[in-house]
A and B are shown apart, each in its own frame.
Chain A
Amino acid sequence: MNKFIVSSSPHVHGNDSISKNMYGVLIALIPAFICSVIVFGWGAIITTATSVIACLLFEFLIQKYIVKGKTTIWDGSAMITGVLLAFNVPSSLPLWILIIGALVAIGIGKMTFGGLGSNVFNPALVGRVFLLISFPAQMTTWPLPKGFATSYIDATTGATPLQLIKAGHMDQIPNLIDMLFGRMGGSLGEIATAALLLGFIWLLYKKIITWHIPISIFATVIVFSGIMHLCSPEQFVSPLVQLLTGGLMLGSIFMATDYVTSPMANKGMIIYGIGIGIITVVIRTFGSYPEGVSFAILIMNALTPLINRYCKPARFK
């Protein structure tokens, strides 16, 4: 008498998995990583490696000894947090500060809420904002990009385009082509827009994300800053400068689109994107900080449960 497995339908699975999506995101980040190594040299490699190892280690330790449950460090999510945290800091950030950032990102940003799937805020951004507020000097000291000649230990520093804009020196920002290909100061991940866009195309192709969040952020930023620029071009930079500077590209494509902390339905995603766009431009233009994307995303993360509740997908009709 044969024993058959009896369970309810469906009896086949599409073979998508958490790892496939997570490692797909890591692959999408490779062009940006290569650019950051070309621009910042050893600093890029050491910072990224340290951040990734620290995140994996902390997740392992917390899961094994505090939660005392299964360890899931190879699903790819902690690795992404590590890479994105590294991409959000100066390439010459002292390692001990970076490691504290990883602990906050994984420990507080992710594990205290219950691990993957339960966190409210983007863990990498929690780590980054914590570092920014706790170590403001080190977190806003950007080494001048000189390829492998970029000094790691004793970096000569310069202002990022956004810092220049905040200080009123619009004429000193790099030209658009330089900004597109990463020849400017800034954090590891934010400099090479072209590389990030390549990653965006990969994510869309692999159906890891949809277009809704990044495109609604870009559109909002373009419209909002466009209106201001038209009113007063000397006071307000053009939309193209807004798009190419700071962490907007990195944030829109890789951090705002984080599954766990973004809305579930398309309508909700668009509202979320619009919110991020508005808050980013407001902080950049009228706030004290030169960069607003991290805060914008964290604020909209907090609103995601509300957005989910009120933005139901359209029913079949």
Chain B
Amino acid sequence: MLKTFRMGGVHPPENKISSGEKIKTLPIPVKVIIPVGQHIGAPATPVVAKGDSVKVGQLIAKSSGFVSANIHSSVSGTVKTVGPVKDAAGMMKVAITIQVEGDEWMEDIDRNAKIVFNENLSKDDIKASIMKAGIVGMGGATFPTHVKLSPPPGNKAEILIINGVECEPYLTADHRVMLEKSKELMVGIQYLMKGIDVKKAVVGIENNKKDAISLLTELSKNYPGISICPLQMKYPQGGEKQLIKAVTGKGVPSGALPIAVGAVVQNIGTALAVYEAINQNKPLFERIVTVTGKSVKQPGNFICRIGTPISALIDAAGGLPENTGKVIGGGPMMGRTMINIDSPIMKGTSGILIIEEQEALRKEQHNCIRCGKCVSVCPMGLEPYLLMTLSEKNMLDELAEHDVMDCIECGSCTFTCPANRQLLDYIRLGKGRTGAMLRAKNSKK
């Protein structure tokens, strides 16, 4: 009986249309737009100006604090603008636009490095390389990795969990990395293990990726301490807390970090980026992105440079389908819709999902029929119907009491509701307001 987390969860149709598509390299675009805020924490500070020449891998924005990350150029060329640009949500955010000229890389990047673990590096060396390379969580959360590898004093890591779950329907980038870059992945995991001083790493993989499970299980025999844990399929198993529960049986307490139960979780793509940063001296400036959707002519998985406009990826997948309703960055459960296709690929963009107009339209909302299905599917044990009503009435104290801040915004509740109520819309609203209220209260103390 394969492991999984017990509480809640749903089973959206998998639609892993592109899981058989080998990774292809996307041609370099003519211009890139690189936002300085592609991570959780303070946006980076630009260190280039209009007119500057840059090379691939050159630092163009510097981390501006502990919880922040460096940003590097993904192309060689001339900086056109440094300033606010409209992002995918329509908000103005500072970005560095570069006109591409050729493909000249920084000299110290070694693309032909051997895929071997360097034992001579200390854990501080490893963390410094990761920080220098601007690596952030590539599963989509974009939390600066060097911060995650530096637990607060008094907390000790016992296990590294590598998130190969990819529970969102449609997305297949991590799956392809596991199949095509398995050795690099293993070495990256070894560096991460040393970085947090643990002897044990477990790669959690959902059972719909049997080829990856058998390939990595075989390969991991050569890498002591690394094991593979096949998991039953259930959304949202890729959520940190759910994954830790499934793999170790331990539950991260409300308000606490995974390190509280001795776990550190990293995404597959992050582990790959760590290998490249250390062995190839290559900062994070490109990633694998799935382009998919039922109406997409040639769905696929592409390596593309950060800052590439989404339109270039869509063109490589056969062009924007006629009846497109939504363009989503990420998966269908937690991804964000985009207002146009000129927005750039960022470090956290795992996939571009096209949904046809018919399927994209929301269904008509009815009154809550109090069936309780939302309660039964919530992986955090919350009461979505109640949180929705409290949010509607702006009852922030009660929202805090009912643990709204524990909501991981997975969308299982809305997915399930037979009355088509937009539960997550209301809960997110309530969560935002309650969070602000709690922060204001705490800062007054």
List A residues at the B interface (Cβ < 8 Å). Answer: 1-2, 4-14, 16-18, 20-21, 72, 75, 114-118, 210, 259-261, 263-266, 312-317
Residues in A neighbouring B372, C-beta threshold 8 A: 259, 263-265
Chain B 398-414 per-residue mask, 1 if CB under 8 angstroms from chain A, else 0: 00001100100101001
The answer to whether A316 touches B381 (Cβ under 8 A) is: yes
Contact B335 A259 (CB under 8 A): no
Contact among A13, A210, A314 for B414, CB-based, below 8 A: A13
Binds A, one of B155-163, B299-307, B336-344: B336-344
B328 close to A (CB within 8 Å): yes
A-B residue pairs in contact (CB < 8 Å), sample of 14: A2-B341, A6-B339, A12-B12, A12-B332, A18-B366, A18-B419, A20-B418, A72-B366, A118-B367, A259-B370, A261-B370, A264-B375, A312-B402, A316-B7
B326, B366, B368, B416 — most chain A CB neighbours (10 Å): B366
Cβ-defined contact, B403 with A315, below 8 A: yes
| Distance between Cα atoms of A18 and B339 in the complex (Å) | 32
User: What is the chain A residue whose CB lies nearest that of B359?
Assistant: A12
**Residue B241 CB within 8 A of the other chain:** yes
Query: With a CB–CB cut-off of 8 A, which chain B residues contact A18?
Result: 366, 369, 418-419
Taking the complex as formed, is B268 at the interface, i.e. its CB lies under 8 A from any CB of chain A?
no
Residues of A close to B411: CB separation below 8 A? 9-10
Q: How far apart are B410's CB and chain A's nearest CB, in angstroms?
A: 8
Name, among B378, B409, B415, B420, the residue most crowded by chain A CB atoms within 10 Å (CB to CB).
Answer: B415
Residues of B in contact (CB 8 Å), total 66
Residues of chain B within 8 A (CB-CB) of A9 are 332-336, 409, 411, 424
Which parts of B305-346 form the interface with A (CB within 8 Å)? 320, 324-328, 332-341
B106 within 8 A of A: no
Residues of the A chain whose Cβ atoms lie less than 8 Å from the Cβ of B402: 312
- Using Cβ atoms and an 8 Å threshold, which residues of chain A touch B353? 11
Task: Report Cα–Cα, A20/B154, bound state, in Å.
Answer: 53
Given A5-B357, A316-B380, A16 contacting B373 (CB threshold 8 A): yes
Q: Are A11 and B369 in contact (CB under 8 A)?
A: no
Residues on B with beta carbons closer than 8 Å to the beta carbon of A261: 370
> CB-nearest residue of chain B relative to A18?
B418
Q: Evaluate contact between A116 and B367: CB separation under 8 angstroms.
A: yes
Of the listed residues B332, B371, B428, the one surrounded by the most CB atoms of chain A closer than 10 A to its CB is: B371
**Does chain A have a CB within 8 A of B382?**
yes
Cβ-closest chain A residue relative to B379: A316
For the complex, give the distance between the alpha carbons of A14 and B378 in Å: 14
Nearest neighbor of B10 in chain A, beta-carbon distance: A14
Question: Is the Cβ of A313 less than 8 Å from the Cβ of B416?
Answer: no
Min distance, Cβ B244 to any Cβ of chain A, angstroms: 11
Cα of A44 to Cα of B64 in the assembled complex, Å:
78
Report the Cα distance A264→B371, complex, angstroms: 7
Is the C-beta of B102 less than 8 angstroms from some C-beta in chain A? no
CB closest residue in chain A, given B363 = A13
| Residues of chain A contacted by B375 (CB below 8 angstroms) | 264-265, 313
Q: Which residues of B contact A317 (CB under 8 A)?
A: 251, 253-254
Besides A10-B415, A11-B326, A317-B251, 13 other A-B contacts (C-beta < 8 A)? A5-B326, A5-B361, A8-B425, A9-B335, A13-B414, A21-B371, A117-B366, A117-B368, A264-B375, A315-B403, A316-B241, A316-B251, A316-B380
Q: Which of B334, B357, B418, B428 contacts A21 (CB 8 A)?
A: B418
Decide yes or no: A14 and B12 within 8 Å by CB, A4-B325, A9-B333, A265-B375 being known contacts: yes
Distance in angstroms between the alpha carbons of A8 and B332 in the assembled complex: 10
CB of B360 within 8 Å of the partner chain: yes
Give the distance in Å from the alpha carbon of A224 to the alpha carbon of B363 in the complex. Answer: 47
Give B63 Cβ to nearest chain A Cβ, in Å: 29
Q: Within the complex, what minimum Cβ distance (angstroms) separates B401 from chain A?
A: 10
Residue numbers in B under 8 Å from A314 (CB-CB): 7, 381
Contacts of B284 in A (CB 8 A): none
Mark each residue of chain B from 243 to 257: 1 if its CB lies under 8 Å from any CB of chain A, else 0.
Answer: 001000001011000
Q: Counting chain B CB atoms within 10 Å of each CB, which of A8, A11, A261, A263 scores highest?
A: A11
